[in-house]
Amino acid sequence: MKVFEKYFDDFIGYLIILNVIHQILISGYSLSDNLLTLSENFILFSFGIFVFEVIFRIFKERKFSTLLLIDIIVIFNYLFISVFDLRIFRIFRAYSIFSQLRVLLPTNTLLKTIWKQRLSILGTQIVVFSLLLIFSVVIHFLEKDLQPEAFGNILDSMWYGIATLTTVGYGDVTPVSDLGKLISSFAMFLGIAMFALPAAILASAYYEDIQKRNFLVSLEAITEINLFSNLPIGAITKINSKLEPLVLPAKQVIFKKGDIADALYIIEFGSVQVEIETPVVLGSGDYFGETGLISQAERNATISVLEEAKLLKLSKESLDELLEEYPALFEDLKRSAADRTG
């Protein structure tokens, strides 16, 4: 059932994209009779499926969401109004279906950053909007007698004002008075600063988010290591604080077969290659060399860097220090280590 739902979702996603392409291509063209029939049948078929899917979702999820509302409006419009073709708005549904694809993952992070910074960005827009109002009123005073059709009221002046402050500059309207040009020149300089504000906020916030995510990556990676999976969060944080970052260039050998195993490595980014008969590639979030933490055996394979990688190294020494300092926290670990080596 789960598998069927997944395939059905993907099918809906592709059908929405096809509908968007269809909507774009037919708009404004008069089709031949054959094509028109085909086109109408496609719409009919699509909406049949869409109606079914929306009903299915209502029954299954039993909770309301903006996304669902949009989809219901699109279908309602098709069935009862149909003046405008609203299929384009189902694109949000397609986005939510495909949001787990690899290419959209960074987009999700980015949208989250924007969401977290929404107040800051809204704040800059309030400042900008106030400047726009003042600029539009002033330019309206200066140009209303010279160009009544373009600057005769403040709302019309705002059209020029926005195009200027955002540096779009259509040029369909431009001031003719000298003072109007002077004031507009100031507005253009302000336009540059406007670009700087959201860039500054987002660059700062995004950098912090990346730093934090890297931190969470290592925390999650530790939790996934068998040895550590049952430890309390306190212990995992202690381990995290003992990780030693290593940034290694490609082709660097990390350890050779036969070396004494005395550390575990977690890959933060990049990839490494285990050089056994059929080489295995490990990537971000993977770990290797965990046997080195329990017993100082020999490495049974050479491992080298494939793409420039950042590794987090946990040496046996560091772990032993933790075991001694916080015996209560690591009790489980000690027992399991004893089991293995014993």
Check binding of 254 to a second copy (CB under 8 A): yes
Maximum pairwise Cα distance, the chain: 96
Q: From the CB of residue 5, how many other CB atoms can be counted at a distance below 10 Å?
A: 11
Does residue number 155 form part of the binding site for a second copy (CB under 8 A)?
Answer: yes
3-state secondary structure of 271: strand
Q: Which of residues 263-292 bind a second copy (CB under 8 A)?
A: none
- How many angstroms separate the CA atoms of 324 and 53, rounded? 59
Smallest separation, CB 306 to a second copy (Å): 15
Nearby residues of 250 by Cβ (< 8 Å), 6 or more positions away: 305, 306, 307, 308
Task: Tell me which of 237, 295, 296, 300 binds a second copy, using CB under 8 A.
Answer: 237
Near a second copy by CB under 8 A, which window of 41-49, 66-74, 238-246, 281-289? 238-246
Stretch that binds a second copy, among 1-9, 42-50, 82-90, 275-283 (CB under 8 A): 82-90
C-beta of 232 vs 340, nearer to a second copy = 232
Q: How far is the CB of 1 from a second copy (least distance, A)?
A: 26
**Least separation, in Å, of the C-beta of 34 and a second copy?**
20
| Interacting positions 159-198 with a second copy (CB under 8 A) | 159, 162-164, 166-172, 174, 178, 181, 185, 188-189, 191-198
3-state secondary structure of 295: coil
177 in Cβ contact with 142 (< 8 Å): yes
Our finding on whether 323 is near a second copy (CB under 8 A) is: no
Of 38, 44, 55, 105, the one binding a second copy (CB under 8 A) is: 105
Does position 316 interact with a second copy (CB under 8 A)? The reply is no
Among 79, 81, 134, 338, binds a second copy (CB under 8 A): 134
Burial degree of 3 (CB within 10 A; 0-12, 13-18, 19+): exposed
One of 35, 210, 281, 338 touching a second copy (CB under 8 A): 210
Q: Does 220 bind a second copy (CB under 8 A)?
A: yes
Q: Does the footprint of a second copy cover residue 327 (CB under 8 A)?
A: no
Is residue 41 close enough to count as binding a second copy by CB under 8 A?
Answer: no
The distance of closest approach from Cβ of residue 20 to a second copy in the complex, given in angstroms and rounded to an integer, is 7
Applying CB under 8 A, among 72, 206, 290, 302 the residue interacting with a second copy is 206
